[in-house]
Amino acid sequence: MSSHIDPDKLDKLAEVAVRIGLNLQKGQDIVITAPMEAAPLVRRIAVHAYKAGAGIVTPFFNDDAITLARYEHAQDESFDRAPNWLFEGMAAAYKSGAARLAITGDDPMMLAEQDPAKIARLAKANSLAAKPAMDPIVGFEVNWNIVAYPSAGWAAKVYPELPVEQAQGKLMDAIFAASRIDGDDPVADWEAHSARLQKRVDWLNDMNFSALHYAGPGTDLHLGLADGHIWKGGASPALNGIVCQPNIPTEEVFTCPHAYKVKGTVAATKPLAHQGNVIEDIAVRFEAGRIVEATASKGEDVLKSLLNTDDGASRIGEVALVPHSSPISQSGILFYNTLFDENASCHIAVGQCYADTIEGGSELSPEELKQKGGNQSIVHVDWMMGSDAVDIDGITKTGERVPVMRGGEWA
């Protein structure tokens, strides 16, 4: 671990991940996935988990060097395969009541020099194989959480002017600040923050808009909302009855758009780090819910490959509202990591919807979910479309327009 990372704050982040993020219950197992470099955080999470009464803490680590070895030396057919047995084992753990904790922090540029076709093939193979393990997460059947730890490659991308260890320390400080770890009582701070988000959720659910209209530079979008959509944000109860905070940090309230009722243009306001590449200046046009035109000044081939993953990859499954004044936005840092960058800006996600953002959605079949407007895909990728120059109106069922955001702030 870098000597520039505060061990006391790292311990607080681990405690918040266990107590607030997962709200771990006595006897509950945890499945953890993490970059190898995040081992110091994983170890502190294990300590707090066992103090909270965890059953078994089982970590799975990935390593950049091993990933690159595959791209550089593996046989071609390797890129159409994934370890199904691993994901089936995770799915069995979740069905048995285990919680899920993911640590993000991979180098966003790790695959920048690799063959985009191989990246796309492997991503598709992994997505298909991971479906049994991802379905309980997407359906919010179990309590889950994601937090971050700065790998050397990620830190070097965010702070290229600094020596690597200093960059890791500075990025960790930014993670601490965004994750509300800097106060005297982070657990209490998170409880208060979640209550503020809940007020926004309650207002939006009371309004029950049929659509949202976005207007800004390069953006003129009419976005229908799914039938029976539910706004969510902050801490929420999973289907197992445990109230958890899935994302740390989080500044968003979100719901399910109607996959077939989106029309107009959208210009991204931040770059998107995806599959080891950075996609810049995304601009798309929707017709009847589908993206029919897509351009980018950098990484356009990666963007188009993503949108062609399957039939649902060119439709959207999530819409989220975030004020421009969010702490992550005001930090001025481009994290090149969706967990953080999405909480600096209003955003949409192409691909799979979250079933729990439709009333009774977790009990609906895929076809019933589709009839209500929920999108189906093996991908779910967020990208940012909000700024201080974007206005949003809610459109009621009678056609009345109600200001929701003006200049990127709650109206």
| 404: pLDDT strictly greater than 90 | yes
| 1: pLDDT strictly greater than 70 | no
Contact 187, 15 (CB under 8 A): yes
Looking at residue 153, its pLDDT comes to 94
Residue at 198 is within a domain: no
Per-residue pLDDT tens for 336-387? 998 999 899 999 999 999 988 999 988 889 899 999 999 999 999 999 999 9
Contact 128, 82 (CB under 8 A): yes
pTM above 0.85, yes or no: yes
Q: How many other CB atoms are found less than 10 A from the CB of residue 371?
A: 12
Q: Are residues 23 and 171 in the same domain?
A: yes
Q: Are residues 304 and 391 in the same domain?
A: yes
Q: Are residues 169 and 276 in the same domain?
A: no
Contact 317, 291 (CB under 8 A): no
Query: Residue 160, CB half-sphere, CA atoms under 13 Å: how many?
Result: 5
Q: Are residues 174 and 317 in the same domain?
A: no
Q: Are residues 272 and 169 in the same domain?
A: no
Residue at 384 is within a domain: yes
> 62 — alpha (psi -120 to 50), left (phi > 0) or beta?
beta
Looking at residue 278, its pLDDT comes to 87
Q: Are residues 214 and 330 in the same domain?
A: yes
For residue 122, with 0-12 CB atoms within 10 Å meaning exposed, 13-18 middle and 19 or more buried, which class applies?
buried
Q: Are residues 133 and 220 in the same domain?
A: no
Contact 257, 319 (CB under 8 A): yes
Per-residue pLDDT tens for 207-266? 999 999 999 999 999 999 999 999 999 899 999 999 999 999 999 999 999 999 999 999
Q: Are residues 224 and 355 in the same domain?
A: yes
Tokens of 307: 């949108």
DSSP 8-state assignment for residue 361 = G
Q: Which of 203-217, 239-253, 264-278, 280-294 has the lowest mean pLDDT?
A: 264-278
DSSP 8-state assignment for residue 205 = H
For residue 250, with 0-12 CB atoms within 10 Å meaning exposed, 13-18 middle and 19 or more buried, which class applies?
buried
Average pLDDT of span 157-174: 95
Q: Which of 161, 178, 195 is the last residue of a domain?
A: 178
Average pLDDT of span 95-107: 96
- The enclosing domain of 53 has a CATH number of 3.40.1830.10
Tokens of 3: 């000597």
The pLDDT confidence band at residue 2, using thresholds 50, 70 and 90, is: confident
Residue at 203 is within a domain: no
Per-residue pLDDT tens for 51-91? 999 999 999 999 999 999 999 999 999 999 999 999 999 99
Average pLDDT of span 128-132: 94
Cis bond leading into 237, ω under 30°?
no
Looking at residue 221, its pLDDT comes to 98
Looking at residue 22, its pLDDT comes to 97
Determine the Cα–Cα distance for residues 188 and 235; give it in Å rounded to an integer. Answer: 13
How many domains does one find in the chain? Answer: 2
Residue at 202 is within a domain: no
Residue at 83 is within a domain: yes
The pLDDT confidence band at residue 197, using thresholds 50, 70 and 90, is: very high
**Structural domain span for residue 136:** 7-178
Q: Letter for the amino acid at 240?
A: N
Residue at 194 is within a domain: no
Looking at residue 274, its pLDDT comes to 86
